[in-house]
Chains A and B, each alone.
Chain A
Amino acid sequence: MNGSTIIFYLLAALTLTCGLLSVSTRQIFRAAIYLLFSLVGIAGIYFWLQYEFIAAVQIVVYVGGIVVLIIFSIFLTQQAGEKLAKQKLDRKIFSALAVFCGFALTMLQVYQHDFNIAGTTAAPTVGDIGRKMLNVNDEGYALPFEVISMLLLAALVGCIVIALRASPNPSQGGALKASDKKDIHLNP
């Protein structure tokens, strides 16, 4: 029982406990904070697995980006202090039963399968990741890299158009909205 094992079990306990609390608490701001701790726990597991680059990306994008975005939207749409509506008990019981059966079935299949666990090799360095990501030759990931940059651009433009506030002047509302959308529309 060395330190590495203890740290792993602590991280696993943090992740699962905060995940459970995040889906069951009735206060929405606390759910966001529990989600934050759960994602930090998962980043800790990535650090324990010696995949430091993925852990850093997880902290920067998920914890520092998505959870902050969720907290922004909580403050923009409702009071953070109000309690959420109480869910019907039979719905909770049926969901818990279905989820527990699914989990038991999955773990049964996983434990019965023999994976070819290979010997320990060093984790890929950031240089290896970079060389493979921008490689246009065999087994390179340059094409998904470019496609994802287009996806992010589309998501950016889409979010701005969707969340654009309607024109405050009702008499010129139609014309202004149409011209606004025309200005933002990307020319091919």
Chain B
Amino acid sequence: MEPGLYHILFISAALFFIGVYGFLTRRNLITMLMSIELILNSVNLNFIAFNKYVWPDKMDGLFFTLFIIAIAAAEAAVAIAIIINLYRSHKSIDVENAEDLKY
């Protein structure tokens, strides 16, 4: 069968929920960040698929994707700076150990 819009929507939904599973089960902060990158990529794929198949004469989905890629890069950089700072004070990047503000 010729791959169309529904195949790509299947892939993007599967990738999104794989990222959500990784975010819920992982304890390491860096692997949680990797799961967030998977979620963002699934959203990008969704935007491009709709741009190509439903509105091929416009470019809005394409620009959304470009800006999401740029924002994801900035967010990953800030997250890793925070993780490195946390590692210096706690000597561990397990998310269960970052509980200094807990009651």
Q: Is the interface on chain A under 10, 10 to 19, 20 to 34, or 35 or more residues?
A: 35 or more
- Please judge, given known A-B contacts A46-B48, A148-B71, A162-B82, whether A99 and B30 are in contact too, CB under 8 Å: no
A16 near B11: Cβ-Cβ < 8 Å = yes
B interface majority secondary structure: helix
Residue B34 lies at the interface, judged by CB distance under 8 Å to chain A: yes
Stretch from A4-12, A168-176, A180-188 that touches the partner: A4-12
Count, chain B residues at interface, CB 8 A = 69
A144 near B67: Cβ-Cβ < 8 Å = yes
Residue of A nearest to B11 (CB): A12
Give A residues with C-beta under 8 Å from B: 5, 8-9, 12, 15-16, 19-20, 22-24, 28, 31-32, 35, 38-39, 42, 45-46, 49-51, 54, 57-58, 61-62, 65-66, 69-70, 72-74, 76-78, 84-85, 87, 91-92, 95-96, 98-100, 102-103, 106-107, 110-111, 115-121, 123-124, 128-129, 132-133, 141, 144, 148, 151-152, 155-156, 158-160, 162-163, 165-166
